[in-house]
Amino acid sequence: MLRKTDRMVNQIAALGRGDTTARHLAEAALSRAEAFHGLNAFVALDPEKVLAAAEASDGRRAARTTLGPLDGIPIAVKDNYLTADYPTTACSDALPLEPAGVDATLVARLRRGGAVIFGKTNMHEWAYGATNTTSSFGPTRNPHNPRHITGGSSGGSAAAVSAGIVTAALGSDTGGSIRIPASACGIYGFKPTYGRASRHGVLPLSWSLDAPGPLAASLDDLAVLLSCLLGEDAGDAATRGSRPFRPVAAHSRTVRLLHLTGPGLERSAEVDASVAAALQSARGCMVDTRELPGMRRFFGAWETILHCEATAYHQPLLAANAAGFSTVTRAHLEAGQYLSAQELLRAQQVRAEFCTLLASGLGDWDALVLPTLPVPAPAMDSDWQAFGGRRVTTQDSMTWFCWPGNLAGLPAVTLPCGLSSAGLPIGIMLMGRPGQDERLLQIAKRFDPAINLTE
């Protein structure tokens, strides 16, 4: 399992001191990938390509021409990012793709920084689900207990980091798909503000909800990755005017945290206890508790927008090759055909109400706080979850707290805050104000980190 030494910032420091080489890091990652093959975290991994990229990095370091702090660091990529040298299938048989010959913008930025692209990771088919059990390559298994799910849709990326195969990976987040598996696997995940990370070259699920971002072994690792990934990109109009990520210095001002509770935000007793303990341990924070009214309405708006946009994107492929989709994904896409333009427009109106509520209807706050998941990672064969007097599907339980960040376009980060009685990770999620990604990461550092990590 992940150890405190398995952090990207430690690898960067070791490379800088000459204590290790990029080839050694690559070989160690390949060896660990083989040892944890049963997790099914990777769907494409070519050792020759990995080692060639690592040797090129070592050559640059010997010539003192390194490209940046990520030079020589193995980083995995979710299978919905286009990659020049690996197929991109979104873990579906609907449209098996050959290597695109081009990289998604964020992959290209990693390569320009010298990162070693370490294969493609398993995901919930087309990112249209939050369990990572629906994939043409089979389900991904949780490193903490292989009989439990990773959550999704970026489950392969989370499993690869949690198992210590790599210290960082790319994911994408439409209703929690970075934060859900990061929490379930006991690592860190960051969803940027909508429009700060380029979606160019990332196969979409929902254009107005999607946000690509990193999963990593520590908050410091996230900061290094975000400094490479965020910023304007001509390939994605939503990023116009977006500034690069520039870490901000910590300061002593008391931070106002708003812990959200109430109907629609229920959680299990042990998750609630872990989050309460984390809030008590947070340094220099004042915590208020508030209920959010109308959660069912707002969730309905997110779901309507998601289904409409996903069906619109997939309609040509659905007409040409419906049999290529799994039964579950095809049912979601076909259901989207029955939503009307009026329903979509009404959902967008409700979305605007929700954004206004969060921005000005809750008073002054620096970060909104929720558990990342209402329950620890469910068992692989569990279809229903019971918590807080609710009984909901496993799918809905995974997105229970995460979708508000997508509906409102907020930056959001999840970090581990404890272990369940069964030894499964519990995560706490912070959401910040739009565009204040740097500030949010600093606030997260006020919490006691790495409870799930061992030496």
Contact 205, 174 (CB under 8 A): yes
pLDDT of 40 > 80? The answer is: yes
Of 57, 78, 157, 198, the catalytic one is 78
- Find the mean pLDDT for residues 178-195: 98
- Find the mean pLDDT for residues 329-351: 97
Q: What mean pLDDT is reported for the chain?
A: 95
Contact 153, 129 (CB under 8 A): yes
Domain boundary among 195, 213, 239: 239
441 Cβ contact partners less than 8 Å away, ≥ 6 residues apart: 190, 219, 222, 223, 226, 247, 413
In terms of DSSP H, where are the helices of 63-193?
105-112, 155-162, 179-184
Contact 142, 148 (CB under 8 A): yes
Q: Are residues 222 and 286 in the same domain?
A: no
* pLDDT tier for residue 455 given thresholds of 50, 70 and 90: very low
Q: Are residues 282 and 355 in the same domain?
A: yes
| Domain-embedded: residue 145 | yes
- Find the mean pLDDT for residues 362-382: 97
Q: Of 16-30, 44-58, 245-259, 413-427, which gets the smallest average pLDDT?
A: 245-259
pLDDT of 205 > 50? The answer is: yes
296 Cβ contact partners less than 8 Å away, ≥ 6 residues apart: 264
- Closest among 108, 102, 28, 14 to 67, alpha carbons compared: 108
| Domain-embedded: residue 382 | yes
Share of the chain above pLDDT 90, in %: 94
Of 92, 177, 183, 397, the catalytic one is 177
- Find the mean pLDDT for residues 204-233: 97
Of 153, 157, 274, 397, the catalytic one is 153
Angle at 5 between CA 4 and CA 10, to 5 degrees: 120
Angle at 378 between CA 377 and CA 382, to 5 degrees: 165
Q: Are residues 26 and 67 in the same domain?
A: yes
**Which single residue is written with the structure tokens 């960067």?**
12
Q: Is the dihedral of CA 233, 236, 237, 239 positive or negative?
A: negative
pLDDT at 371: 98
* pLDDT tier for residue 249 given thresholds of 50, 70 and 90: confident
pLDDT of 31 > 50? The answer is: yes
- Distance, in Å, from the CA atom of 325 to the CA atom of 317, rounded to the nearest integer, reads 9
- Find the mean pLDDT for residues 4-15: 90
DSSP string for residues in 319-369: HHHGGGS-HHHHHHHHHHTT--HHHHHHHHHHHHHHHHHHHHSS-S-SEEE
Q: Are residues 216 and 348 in the same domain?
A: no
Q: Are residues 113 and 37 in the same domain?
A: yes
362 Cβ contact partners less than 8 Å away, ≥ 6 residues apart: 258, 290, 368
| Domain-embedded: residue 122 | yes
| Domain-embedded: residue 133 | yes
pLDDT at 453: 42
pLDDT digits (tens, 9 = 90+) for 90-140: 999 998 778 889 999 999 999 999 999 999 999 999 999 999 999 999 999
Tokens of 31: 């060896």
pLDDT digits (tens, 9 = 90+) for 397-421: 999 999 999 999 999 999 999 999 9
pLDDT of 424 > 70? The answer is: yes
Task: Count how many domains the chain has.
Answer: 2
- Distance, in Å, from the CA atom of 177 to the CA atom of 348, rounded to the nearest integer, reads 22
Q: Are residues 224 and 273 in the same domain?
A: no
Contact 78, 67 (CB under 8 A): no
Q: Are residues 214 and 117 in the same domain?
A: yes
pLDDT at 95: 82
Q: Are residues 430 and 345 in the same domain?
A: yes
Q: Is the dihedral of CA 261, 263, 267, 273 positive or negative?
A: positive
- Find the mean pLDDT for residues 205-221: 97
Residue 256 is classified by DSSP as E
Is residue 274 among the annotated active site residues?
Answer: no
Is residue 153 among the annotated active site residues?
Answer: yes
Alpha-carbon 126 to chain mean position: 15
Q: Domain range spanning residue 277? A: 255-298+341-444
pLDDT of 3 > 70? The answer is: no
pLDDT at 98: 81
Q: Are residues 48 and 128 in the same domain?
A: yes
CB atoms < 10 A from the CB of 222, how many? 26
- Domain at 35, CATH number: 3.90.1300.10
Q: Are residues 139 and 282 in the same domain?
A: no
pLDDT at 100: 81
- Find the mean pLDDT for residues 145-153: 98
- Find the mean pLDDT for residues 228-256: 94
Tokens of 263: 């109907």
pLDDT of 306 > 90? The answer is: yes
- Find the mean pLDDT for residues 139-143: 98
Is residue 191 among the annotated active site residues?
Answer: no
| Domain-embedded: residue 80 | yes
* pLDDT tier for residue 251 given thresholds of 50, 70 and 90: confident
Residue 265 is classified by DSSP as -
* pLDDT tier for residue 451 given thresholds of 50, 70 and 90: very low
Contact 190, 213 (CB under 8 A): yes
| Domain-embedded: residue 100 | yes
Q: Are residues 166 and 293 in the same domain?
A: no
409-439: burial string, b at 16+ Cβ within 10 Å, e else: bbbbbbbbbbbbeeebbbbbbbbbbbbbbbb
pLDDT at 338: 96
